[in-house]
A and B are shown apart, each in its own frame.
Chain A
Amino acid sequence: MGTADFVEIVVKSLVIIWALLTGFAYMTWFERRVIARLQSRVGPNRVGPSGLLQPLADGVKLMFKEDIVPAEADRALYLLAPLVAVVPAIMAFAIVPVGPSVTLFGRTIPLHLADMNIALLYFLGLGSLGVYGVVLAGWASNNKYALLGGLRASAQMISYELAMGLAVLSVVMLAGSLSLVDIVNAQAGGRWFILLQPVAFLIFLVTMIAETKRAPFDLPEAEQELVAGFHTEYSGMKFALFFMGEYIAMIAISGVAVSLFLGGWRGPFAEQVPILGVLYFFVKLVAFLFFFVWLRATLPRLRYDRLMHLGWKVLLPLSLANVVVTALAVVARDTGFFGLW
């Protein structure tokens, strides 16, 4: 690895982290404004034009807030938990290609950080590590609500992880690769996998909301029964880190969903004009993020037994069946059973 490579990696990492941070800040603004609209309110509009400086104000406020640590908390784990909640979410974005290669200063720079042949397993692995942030927060706080929230969250996340893994699997079968770059390339020419795998797309859509613990799957932080669940005892910047983790996870998982099912950055003329590709990716990403907000404003929270029922008795068998059907269809295609495909 030469110096130029090293500089490229550092610059790209910083750009990704900056983009995720800005995305997180403006996602909070976007969510509050959109939900306000859906509920016939105005939402934050005082700080700056249309309230655009609101995230900044919130950030500054949280910086100066006292960080209260409960006397009986497990102090080391209490600090570790928010870090564990944020870092896997940031890391997950490393595999998402946001555009085709661009040429800058005579170097060809691919617009993704790392192209691995196990990218999707890396993504699922990070998702499974994300469980620890929540469960540790609940345990370290030494608070009944927090512990219950953490436990609920971990059971929920593992229940939906299987269906998500199987939904991803059926896309992998079509693309023949675990690399998101290869999967996006396999969708060239408008052959988006949402058309070939509508069921897998729906399963992924449901599981991605459950994995990020967003409404209607926000039982771990149900404010009415668990007073915010696993982060009840958190305040100040550590509290903000949990939010950062949640929103960055939403952005990262949406990025993966766009790459898996909506052709990633691909669209008309994206290959000739790389900036168009980035724009397409951004538009698709925002569509997913809007969907997250829309659901939160529309659906009531699930009951816990219904949640488990949906995960284990509906999504898991359905995703397994989808894998089998896909396997049969691929064989039928390869043996010329359908004639045209």
Chain B
Amino acid sequence: MKPYAVIGAFLVIGLLLPLMTVMAATLLSPRKPNPIKQDIYECGLKTVGETWVQFKVQYYIYALIFVVFDIEVVFLYPWAVAYNQLGLFALVEMLIFAGILLAGLLYAWRKGALSWV
């Protein structure tokens, strides 16, 4: 339990640092807002249209494939830690596991899901 309590204490102290700097700056800095200053920057022109437009679907595909592989990597971590104790059999198990996922990667690759267009 102890290291986690330490991390908790560190988190509290670590949060104070940026909060304090922002607060100090708020006290010290001038504040003279006006509509032109508060405009959204767009190379000096008035902004055109909505900010929130539809984005490329490719971002979403990367994120989906990422989720699948992230789960794989997470599964591999306990395997790697205990690898010395698990022996040869664990190697075969992992090779099958990684092989199946590698097939998935190859599939996505062949279908062009990994290419940025």
Q: Which residues of A line the B interface, CB within 8 A?
A: 1, 9-10, 13-14, 16-17, 21, 62-72, 79, 82-83, 86-87, 90-91, 94, 113-116, 120-122, 141-145, 147, 151, 155, 158-159, 161-162, 165-166, 169-170, 172-173, 176-178, 227, 232-233, 236-238, 240-241, 244, 304-305, 308-309, 312-313, 316-317, 320, 323-324, 327-328, 330-331, 334-335
Contact = CB atoms under 8 A, between A and B. Distances in A.
B70 A162 contact: yes
B22 A241 contact: yes
Interface residues of B, number: 68
Interface of B: 2-7, 9-11, 13-15, 17-19, 21-22, 24-26, 28-33, 35, 37-43, 47, 51-53, 55, 59, 62-63, 65-66, 69-70, 73-74, 76-77, 80-84, 87-88, 91, 94-95, 98, 102, 105, 109, 114-117
Given A71-B35, A313-B109, A17 B13 contact: yes
A173 to B, nearest CB: 5
B81 A324 contact: no
Contact of A324 (B14, B26, B39, B95): B95
B74 to A, nearest CB: 8
A71 B5 CA distance: 41
A331 B17 contact: no
A305 B14 contact: no
A308 B70 contact: no
A318 to B, nearest CB: 12
Nearest to B116: A305
Given A91-B11, A113-B6, A227 B41 contact: yes
A9 B33 CA distance: 43
B84 A312 contact: no
Nearest to A79: B22
Residue from the set B10, B26, B47, B63 with the largest chain A CB neighbour count within 10 Å: B10
A293 to B, nearest CB: 24
A176 B83 contact: yes
Contacts of A158: 62-63, 66
Contacts of A320: 98, 102
Nearest to B84: A176
Contact of B13 (A13, A67, A115, A145): A13
A165 B80 CA distance: 12
B57 to A, nearest CB: 12
